[in-house]
Amino acid sequence: MKDIILAGISASGKWTQSQKLLEYFWDKMKYFETWWILRALQSNDNAIWNHLRDITANGLLVKDEIVSGLFWVFLETLWDDDIVLADGCMRKIWQSKEIVRLLEQKNRKFVVIELVIPEEEVYTRLSNRITCKTCGANFNISLHGEVNKCLECWWEVYRRNDDINQNAIKNRIDAYHDNIVPSLEMLDKMWYLVKVDAMLSADEIFQKILEIIEK
């Protein structure tokens, strides 16, 4: 069984697939999600979050050294039979090289799975996205109807500023093409990358992911 690193442009369905994988593998799978870890730093006033706040609010990318450092700490917490599920950590060439180095250093077999959607679909999905303030669950108004409370934990939901702000969305798309796409092209040449059509249904995508990691 391979470790999984999910990649894809904003709103490509990474969170949905992460939740399905975590439910399927349960305690065997350990989750590293960059945005969620950075969000956890907001729990109180601290130097790290104060530094990152304006970067994340504008849809920009966090420094490679911070993400790879957090990933190194995460790997140190694992047992040999744990399965890694990572999201949001292959965002620049240097960062990707460093994370590949850390995984290879730990002798871990892994695959990078890119969920692919058209750029115009990003705007459509983000304009309909609602997020839980507590568990981070994402819901789509076009799929779930009006969501007043989280469907997972029944806590308060909200619209992320970088989902509402069209400039922030454009920044995220531009950052993806400028930084993440070259990184994924490098990983493709290293034979680590597999692309999956994220316009398929969530269940179809999930089955394709299972087939990939069980090979």
d(CA 165, CA 144): 22
| Residue 43: per-residue pLDDT | 63
Q: Which residue has the tokens 């995984």?
A: 103
Superfamily of domain 3-213: P-loop containing nucleotide triphosphate hydrolases (3.40.50.300)
Phi-psi region of 55 (alpha: psi -120 to 50; beta: other; left: phi over 0): alpha
- For strand 129-132 and strand 138-140, is the pairing parallel, antiparallel, or unpaired? antiparallel
pLDDT tens for 157-189 read 887 776 777 788 888 899 899 989 999 999 999
Q: What is the mean pLDDT of residues 30-36?
A: 85
pLDDT at position 54 over 80: no
| Residue 134: per-residue pLDDT | 77
* HEC secondary structure over 19-68: HHHHHHHHHHEEEEEHHHHHHHHHHCCCHHHHHHHHHHHCCCCCCHHHHH
Q: pTM here?
A: 0.81
| Cα distance from N-terminal residue to C-terminal residue, the chain | 7
Say which amino acid occupies 30.
K
